[in-house]
Amino acid sequence: MPPRKKKTAEPQDMKKVLWAAADKLRGSLDAAGYKHFVLGLVFLKYVSAAMAEKRAQLEAELREEGGWSEEDILATLEERREYTGSGIFYVPPAARWESVLERAKGTVEGESVGETIDAAMRAIEKFNPALNRTLPKIYNSGQVDEERLAGLVKLLDRLVFQEQLGEDGRRKGARDIMGEVYEYFLAEFALKEGRKGGEYFTPESVVKLLVEVLEPKQGERVYDPACGSGGMFVQAEKFIETHGGNPLNVAVYGQELNQTTWQLAHMNLAIHGVEAKLGDEPADTFRNDQHPELKADVVMANPPFNISDWGGELLGMDKRWVYGTPPVGNANYAWLQHMISKLAPGGRAGVVLANGSMSSKQSGEGDIRRAIVEADVVACMIALPGQLFRSTQIPACLWFLAEGKGRHSAWAPGRKGEVLFIDAREFGEMENRTLRKLTETEIVHRIGDTVRAWRGVEGAGPYEDVPGFYVSASLDVIAEHDFVLTPGRYVGTAEAEVDPDAEPVAEKIARLTALLREQFAESERLAKVVDEQMGRLT
């Protein structure tokens, strides 16, 4: 009897199964702390698998070429430059996944599992300076006991990186598969952490919408001043690759204040093959700008909403406050002006902010908004639906800014003195009982194509206002609304469709009035019948 074929799980099933099993191993440690143990091991698994994939390819080439001794082949396979030159991290033998796995299985003696993993992380950083100070060395801290740690290693060993055919018909290697797993785990941890998870994770559909509207291109500089785990950069490079560009030909700059989130970003971007400059250290964007001279073509960010402790009292005369000094109690207009200050000539920006930013007049915010609008920097405002963010119930919107709009901006060349307002509050579908996501059709076609038509992109078709959905308003009209930028004020309500076979209004009113009188008369008759019947009972 032939052996039964082993059933392989679909990639999505694999991610769910691994997550469920990893979550069971969590014990008493909360999700915020546990994620670093899991994601660090996922990264270790990835760099080992990626190197093994490259190593097998290199060995096959050497043997096919011929003329190499076994000793020379082995030496070449351990040559660090063979990997780093291809964008792959070199992992020394003692730090490879197989070595960690053997220790977790107890087949070799020596250091504890935690000591082995920490040593592996330090060795990888030593051989790959780009990862310096970014990998977690927490496995021997005692926060997770040895048994659970060994179980986690053996569980993640089930990740298989054989080439797979994706839904789009493209072959996916170790990097693609691992990137999907890492993103999935990031999202699940953010869900577990609730509000705190929003500090490093922006919903994928919101990031996709930002990227779809901004359309980053190869050769451009992309900047995120509150980059979290780096999701904006990952989606930007995916967009470039999908549209025929070279994702490696992009200069990526970011900054993150939180130490552990800064580490998450380095690992996430490394897995996706994104080379990013995230500063020499985690730092406050307002008080310790890690890229002071940067002028970017594309700026996109989801900064924390309405933060009051941003240190504004120390930055009253900052050169970035061209349109007015932002209030000490709210950083929204500090973020906006910081991003405007980073725009290269013709650059564009997309920013996620709380809805209050569109209409607030407290502490001079209305005056700052007016100055920004009058400078013709605002290109598009989008009102988002609720329940998109797991970290907050505060309604959110998207600001799109364009330097040189209608003048030297190639992104919005013909829209001087106009702002596109889009009301997408009714968009999206429920992912579960509490979370909503924007659909691919809404992102790419209903919104993306609308913005492209408004911008005058070749092939996008003519632009025409659609009441109730989107409207292009002049600065004079915006001034009439006292520079409030809430899309609902401008788009109005959708025009009712006229049915040529519909009953004329006057005739319909007369018919319904007569029908109502008949019903009143019938009601009186029935009331008398009831009274008569009740009289007979008494």
- The token duo for 486 is 């809430």
What one-character DSSP code corresponds to residue 358?
Answer: G
pLDDT at 341: 98
DSSP string, 382-436: EEPPSS--SS--S-EEEEEEETTTTTT-SSSTT-TTEEEEEE-TT--EESSSS-E
Please name which of 377, 381, 392, 475 lies closest in space to residue 425, comparing C-alpha atoms.
381
- The token duo for 245 is 């560009």
Spatial contact of 322 and 368, defined as CB atoms under 8 Å apart:
no
Spatial contact of 103 and 111, defined as CB atoms under 8 Å apart:
yes
Distance CA 41, CA 355 (A): 39
- The token duo for 357 is 């930013």
Q: Where are the alpha helices (DSSP H) in 69-171?
A: 70-77, 81-84, 97-105, 113-127, 146-156
Q: Where are the alpha helices (DSSP H) in 329-417?
A: 332-341, 365-374
All domains of the chain in start order, with CATH: 11-185 (1.20.1260.30), 200-491 (3.40.50.150)
pTM of the prediction? 0.80
pLDDT at 8: 45
Distance CA 495, CA 224 (A): 39
What one-character DSSP code corresponds to residue 95?
Answer: G
- The token duo for 510 is 């007369």
- The token duo for 500 is 């040529």
Point out which residues pair with 472 in neighbouring strands: 420
Spatial contact of 159 and 175, defined as CB atoms under 8 Å apart:
no
pLDDT at 173: 58
DSSP string, 130-143: GGTTTS---TTSSS
Distance CA 285, CA 290 (A): 7
H/E segment holding residue 306: none
Please name which of 229, 205, 227 lies closest in space to residue 389, comparing C-alpha atoms.
205
Q: How many CA atoms lie within 13 A of 10 on its CB side?
A: 4
Residues of the chain with pLDDT under 50: 1-11, 165, 169, 197-198, 496-500
Please name which of 272, 278, 273 lies closest in space to residue 253, comparing C-alpha atoms.
278
Q: What is the largest CA-CA distance in the chain?
A: 118
pLDDT at 497: 47
pLDDT at 200: 53
Q: What is the pLDDT of residues 203-256, one digit of tens each?
A: 889 999 999 999 999 999 999 999 988 889 989 998 998 999 988 889 999 999
- The token duo for 134 is 């970014």
